């Protein structure tokens, strides 16, 4: 009988210990499940960040291409501007030369007009002399 009681008591204690062990195992599994959910959440955030990083890298590469194209276009426009400035300087030089030539021609015309006036006066005087002598 004593042995039965001891066996029963040991059985009950074993069951209690098994119950405690099971409770501890359940609590540990709950902690592990919570940690697993947290790790999945962190992994999802990491994936989201990686995706955002890829998107930003792509956008940066695109912006870099656009900046390079804009820089090339700016260089081309600067070359065109330099060319236009040179053309303007050439045109100004040509205009100044044309103005100087026009001034020279104006002086030649004035000289010719004065010469014509002198010749007209001489002709008029000669005609008066001729008229006077033929009378």
pTM, rounded to two decimals: 0.49
CA dist list (Å): 134 to 116, 117, 121, 127, 131: 26, 25, 20, 10, 5
pLDDT in tens, 88-134: 999 999 999 999 999 999 999 999 999 999 999 999 999 999 988 88
Q: Which residue has the higher pLDDT, 103 or 13?
A: 103
Confidence (pLDDT) at 20: 86
CA dist list (Å): 105 to 13, 38, 102, 123, 129: 134, 97, 5, 26, 35
pLDDT in tens, 25-77: 999 999 999 999 999 999 999 999 999 999 999 999 999 999 999 999 999 99
**Cα–Cα distance, 79 to 87 (Å, whole number):** 12
Q: Which two tokens stand for residue 110?
A: 């004035």
pLDDT in tens, 107-120: 999 999 999 999 99
Q: Which long-range contacts (CB under 8 A, 24 or more apart) does 116-123 make?
A: none
**Cα–Cα distance, 125 to 68 (Å, whole number):** 84
CA dist list (Å): 79 to 48, 67, 68, 82, 86: 46, 18, 17, 5, 11
**Cα–Cα distance, 86 to 80 (Å, whole number):** 10
């Amino acid at each position: 009988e004593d042995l039965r009681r001891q066996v029963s008591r040991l059985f009950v204690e074993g069951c209690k210990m098994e119950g405690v062990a099971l409770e501890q195992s359940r609590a540990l599994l709950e902690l592990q499940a919570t940690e697993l959910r947290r790790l999945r959440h962190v992994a999802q955030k990491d994936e989201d960040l990686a995706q955002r990083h890829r998107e930003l890298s792509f956008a940066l590469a695109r912006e870099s291409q656009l900046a390079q194209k804009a820089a090339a276009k700016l260089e081309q426009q600067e070359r065109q501007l330099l060319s236009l400035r040179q053309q303007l300087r050439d045109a100004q030089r040509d205009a100044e030369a044309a103005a100087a030539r026009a001034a020279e021609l104006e002086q030649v015309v004035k000289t010719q007009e004065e010469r014509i006036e002198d010749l007209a006066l001489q002709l008029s005087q000669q005609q008066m002399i001729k008229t006077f002598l033929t009378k």
